[in-house]
Structure 1
Amino acid sequence: MEEIKVKKGPLQRTKMTLSILALIVIAACSKVEGEPGQQRRAEGDGKIQIVATTGMITDAVQEIGGGEVEVQGLMGPGVDPHLYKASQGDIEKLGNAEIIFYGGLHLEGKMTEILEKLEKRKPTVAVSKGIDPSLLRSGEDAGGSQYDPHIWFNVKHWISVSETIRDTLAEYDPDHAAEYERNAEAYIAELHALDAEVKERIAEIPEAGRVLVTAHDAFGYFGDAYGIKVMGLQGISTAAEYGSKDVGQLRDFLVENKIKAVFVESSIPTKSMEAVIAGAKEMGHDVRIGGELYSDSMGEPGSDADTYIKMIRHNTDTIVEALK
């Protein structure tokens, strides 16, 4: 299928430019009038004002920052970061923040340019920056950017992310560096235990059945780290289009390999996978939905996926119970 490129009109370009300019103006005003977060700390509870993009990053920053930080997350449960557009309220939050943490590797799609502009004004940190590029998956072959941004699905990469958050907080607030170090040490110990747990659970699936089929190609790091073949209908970004050819190829794979379950994702409509299941049924092979996985966002507060660790555990348990 030939790719159709839509050229941005003057109005679209103007809106984007105005958004970026508004953000720069807010940031510049902060410099002139004194950092809003620092002023609030002096007048209030003394917490560092932080904004994070995704729920996973928000959770990690809160774990490591502890009582010294107040973290606002921009993207809640079920939100797709690849397609997310910053609202005026988001721009104000970013302008008022003392530190901003984001995924990087073009995870935030349309927001990337805004975040890169802010790096010149205040600590604006891509949490993926500490990962050795040789350990990153390519994203070009899967309809994405240079690298696959879904680093959180390899728990060892999330340990690197935690170290970046720890070091950023310690550098910004050296008076509490020891506290950030302690919090990070405890959190990283939990992550090492989680990494081992996931390996043990995936080993419960018979080797021939270790095939994870999802709506978009978000689980590549998970597959590489824990020994499971991963296939997605769409590329690594949900902005990538899929067509009847993609549906047909995935349907044929399911039928030929007698795959019994596929998975839907909390941040993506289920219609794409339903089309694949219907196609397989027409060919005499029944495929069921093995469960809902959390890919680009965590679960609702109070759910069994409302923290990063619980999210990874939920996904692993769902995959294992459906495939073993």
Structure 2
Amino acid sequence: MLRRFVLPLIAAAAFAAPAAFANERVSVVATTGMIADAARQVGGDLVDVRALMGPGIDPHAYRQTRSDIVAMTRADLVLWHGLYLEAQMEDFFTDLSRENTVVAVADDLPRDRLRAHDDYADKFDPHVWMDPALWTMVVGTVADALTQVHPEGAEVFASNADAHIAEIARLADYSSATLTDVPESARVLVTAHDAFGYFGQAYGFEVLGIQGISTESEAGLNRIRELVDLLVERDVAAVFVESSVSDRNIRALIEGAAAQGHEVSVGGELFSDAMGADQTYEGTFIGMIDHNVTVIAGALGADVPPRGMDGKLSAGY
């Protein structure tokens, strides 16, 4: 069914003039906001970038619309994440790659740096943006992809990528220094789904998601009970909701702990699979991670700058 709908649109798009000939800016369509931000940072004034999945959108469950398909068939470059993040769109990208330049920006990351997927033996945890060191490799792949479709911009793309990677390195330094101040006994991060594994791996936190790596996995009553018992036994004081996931299960944890006489609060809302609002600092990769680090560290006992790394966060903590 998907191929009968998609292939005619792809074929029809082949007769349209490529965007590069109609417009000096390279037309880029990216699936997630994080990839779109990388393309904007690297491409600068040479690119026009559209993100399919905006703030609050869950990429695990996203289904492309007809307008998305048309936009991707007309783009000079389509960037998607890979690593099974957009599992429901993979057949479409395979078809599209026969006519367009389509790049899965995380698929070539070193396998020894990736976490195993908890549901599929041959897959990996896709949430690599939670580790700035891994994300710098993705930025490099984005620069290579832009250079492939617009070789004349190679020097600009390389320079912009270097500048952005340096900014990410500074973010990583801030993150490490800030999270080190969290007492070791408090370094337990409980979230709605298992999106923060790379964060925990990078900064020495135990990460516990109610749901698995994909939000499509179910959170059973046994899992809720296990985590409630853990909250009580280990005196965990805060849990975290996510901007792109329902807070229903987190509320169940809090209520379950209260029934056992243990008070747990919501430490804050984190950006897991989507960034903050468009045109805001939190709507960039740097702002997204700055927000998460500052909120987590502050809620778990560290003394944090009230508005993050450079005082740019929208709210104080």
Relative to the length of structure 2, the TM-score reads: 0.92
- The 8 Å contact of residues 73 and 100 in structure 2, kept in 1 or not, is answered as no
- Residue of 134, 137, 150 corresponding to 2:112: 134
Per the alignment, in what secondary structure is the counterpart of residue 107 of structure 2?
A: helix
Q: Does 1:288 align with 2:270?
A: no
Selected match of 1:86 from 46, 58, 64? 64
| Separation in structure 1 between the aligned mates of residue 158 and residue 112 of structure 2, nearest angstrom | 27
- The 5 A counterparts of 1:298-313 are 298-313=275-290
CA contact (8 A) 1:127 1:165 kept: yes
The 5 Å alignment of 1:172-191 reads: 172-191=149-168
Q: 1:82 to 1:145 in 2, by over 3 A?
A: farther
- Counterpart of 2:20 (choices 17, 29, 38) is 38
- Match of 1:213, SS? strand
1:47 and 2:25 matched: yes
| Structure-2 separation of matches of 1:144 and 1:249 | 24
Would you say 1:112 and 2:112 are equivalent positions?
A: no
Residue 101 of structure 2 aligns to which amino acid in structure 1?
Answer: P
Give, in angstroms, the shift of residue 84 of structure 1.
Answer: 0.4
CA distance in 1, matches of 2:215, 2:120: 9
Letter in 2 for 1:25: P
**d(CA) in 2 for partners of 1:145, 1:73:** 28
SS in 1 for 2:48: strand
Tell me whether 1:24 sits opposite 2:1 in the alignment: no
Q: Which runs of 5+ in 1 are unaligned?
A: 1-16
Regions of 4+ moved over 4 Å: 142-145
Matched AA of 1:266: S
- Which amino acid in 2 is paired with 1:192? A
Q: TM-score of the superposition, structure 1-length normalised?
A: 0.90
What corresponds to 1:70 in structure 2? Answer: 48
Q: Say which SS state the counterpart of residue 92 (structure 1) adopts.
A: helix
- Per-residue CA deviation, residues 5-42 of structure 1 (Å, 9 max, x unaligned), is xxxxxxxxxxxx2x4333222222333x254313322x
Residue 319 of structure 1 pairs with residue 296 of structure 2: yes
Identity of aligned residues (%): 40
Question: Residue 304 and residue 70 in structure 1: after superposition, are their counterparts in 2 closer, same or farther (change >3 A)?
Answer: closer
Post-superposition Cα deviations, 1:52-76, rounded to whole Å, max 9, x if no partner, equal 0000110110110111111111001
- SS at 1:77 equivalent: coil
Matched with 2:195 is 218
RMSD: 1.4
Return the alpha-carbon distance in structure 2 between the equivalents of residues 130 and 178 of structure 1: 23
2:76 and 2:149 in contact (8 A); partners too = no
Q: 1:305 aligns to what SS in structure 2?
A: helix
Q: Which amino acid aligns with 2:138?
A: V
Q: Give the AA of the match of 1:194.
A: L
Q: C-alpha distance in 2, partners of 1:244/1:144?
A: 24
